[in-house]
Structure 1
Amino acid sequence: MDYINAILLGIIEGITEFLPISSTGHLLIAEQWLGARSDTFNVVIQAGAILAVTFIYWQRILSLVLGINDPKNRDYLLKLIAAFLITAVLGLVVTKLGFKLPTSVTPIAWALIIGGIWMIVAEQIAARRPESTKVTWLVAIIVGLAQIVAGIFPGTSRSGATIFAAMLFGTGNRAAATEFAFLVGIPTMYAASGYELLKTLKAAKLENAPPENWTLLGIAFVVSMVVAFVSVKWLLGYIRSNRFTAFAIYRIVLGVALFGMLGLGWVA
């Protein structure tokens, strides 16, 4: 059952990490029934999803780095760096202050519902504005701040927060907004995962925690990576001709279902 559970959690992480539906909320529900996993396990499956997106965008990343002498590429790269630095610096401040909502059912259910309603409203507003693929400095700053909001409020969805931040503040094209949000997310999530892994391993060493089952970790990592690759590829094709409304409705339904399961005692 441990191997089956590892595969299931890898699948859930792979599907939900970059879709705007909150991986935290889905993993919380899964762990209620499949059993809680170590912090190391959670970091590893997240790393698998990040690696998948890195593979998807490797040509874009390479072209930005190698084409840095091109003013257009340099401008885009500088905006990515700025958004990342805003998240990194403010993230460290928030971490030091210990300001974060608990990862429990009630706040996540509220975040899912409120986030779903906000997505519907935000997309309606964005649709009335001229479509643009340009990423402005304002968009870069807002996207950096949006990642902090998503980190503080579990269930918000980092991808959802950043995509809609970009769409509302200037990058009206869904594909362009999603690309910038995902490219910013790559270094941000690598840095966050590395930080959490080092902190977890240090704590485990001090507390003489039992060793991890690296076979399970490896299986979950590979499953998460493969599923995330397929999910993101599908999403990038889907949003070219479809709005995010279906994801918003799904979030609202899931949030209401979580409150129902909480009332029935199915989750705690």
Structure 2
Amino acid sequence: MSDLIRVILLGIIEGITEFLPISSTGHLLIAEQLGLGERSDLFNIGIQAGAILAVTLIYWKRLWQLLTQWREPSNRDYLAKLTVAFLITAVLGFIAVKAGFTLPDTVTPIAWALVIGGFWMIGAEAVAARRPDRREVTWTVAVLVGFAQMLAGVFPGTSRSAATIFAALLAGTSNRAAATEFAFLVGIPTMYAATGYELLKVVKNGGAVHEDWSALIVGFVVSAIVAFAAVKWLLGYIRTHRFTPFAIYRIALGVALLLWLPTGV
């Protein structure tokens, strides 16, 4: 398999999985284990940036409304809740970094996170479905979404989008579209901040000197295009469908990985 095809495949995987509730980190690690090759930290940052750019473009009207009409009470309240959720994640993330926490680079914990998260999604959505349709984002939702983002960052395979969406659903925002919008909007500054931090670290360590920039650009573009299509599809899908198929996929993939691991492959 040529290096270009590997780069395109990794960009596609990142674009599909970054905002769907199935874990991008988990799928990229699995892809490496399957022989797509381990890429540099800067490459991984680049394709993630492509996915972030895509979701920013999708929500640009909403973001512009919040920023230019922040004096309106509803927009000011929403911005305050987004800020609180972001700050909770940022502070906890800073503490984790200073404590020397590192992400696991093996498939086993990811497999368990996929399975456990799948069952949790099914249960959480069943609970939310019994509640009246509610679009309001409360302060409780904002705080729990902030903690959920950090949880997803600590446990690969959890999925940031899954953790935040279902934290919102359980905490009171029972409307799937409203919960997803808040989760994605919180994710934009969070992921830009995390990507910027990692980029500065890579540049400071001299990792940019020997980078394959053509591969990075291709991966970035592919990830952005695929993520744009994936998120647009997801936002249309959840208007009339539950997240159950994603939960079943997570469980099936996790079980398959747990059965595959004992073979030593």
Residue aligning to 1:127: 129
Identify the residue that residue 261 of structure 1 maps to in structure 2.
Answer: 260
Matched to 1:52, the amino acid is A
* 2:60 equivalent to 1:61: no
Alignment partner, residue 196 of structure 1: 198
Query: How far apart in 1 are the matches of 2:90 and 2:133?
Result: 30
For 2:210, the equivalent position in structure 1 comes to 211
- Aligned-pair CA distance for 1:39: 0.6
Question: Which of structure 1's runs of 4+ aligned residues deviate more than 4 A?
Answer: none
Q: What is the deviation of 1:240?
A: 0.4
Are the aligned partners of 1:129 and 1:172 in contact in 2 as well (CA < 8 Å)?
yes
- 1:1-150 mapped onto 2 (5 Å cutoff): 1-32=2-33, 33-150=35-152
Uncovered stretches (5+) of structure 1, i.e. residues with no partner: none
Give the distance between the partners of 1:100 and 1:126, measured in 2 at CA: 34
Q: 1:169 to 1:100 in 2, by over 3 A?
A: farther
Shift of 1:103: 2.6
Taking every aligned residue pair, what percent have the same amino acid on both sides? 70
- The answer for the alignment partner of 2:250 in structure 1 is 251
Give the Cα–Cα distance (whole angstroms) in 1 for the partners of residues 164 and 75 of structure 2. Answer: 21
Unmatched tracts of structure 2, length 5 or more: none
Are 1:100 and 1:153, in contact at CA under 8 Å, matched by a contact in 2? no
How far apart, in 1, do the equivalents of 2:37 and 2:6 lie? 8
Matched letter for residue 228 of structure 1: A
SS where residue 19 of structure 2 aligns?
Answer: coil
Cα distance in 2, alignment partners of residues 62 and 210 from structure 1:
36
**Letter paired with 1:13:** E
Amino acid at match of 1:249: I
RMSD of aligned residue pairs (Cα, Å): 1.1
| One-letter code aligned to 1:236 | L
Q: Secondary structure at the match of 1:134?
A: coil
Alpha carbons 1:101, 1:107 under 8 Å: kept: no
Instruction: After TM superposition, give the deviation of residue 100 of structure 1 in Å.
Output: 4.5
Give yes or no for contact 1:48–1:225 (8 Å, CA) kept in 2: yes
Distance 2:117 2:101 in 1: 20
Question: Displacement of 1:69 after TM fit?
Answer: 1.2
Q: TM-score, normalised by structure 2?
A: 0.97
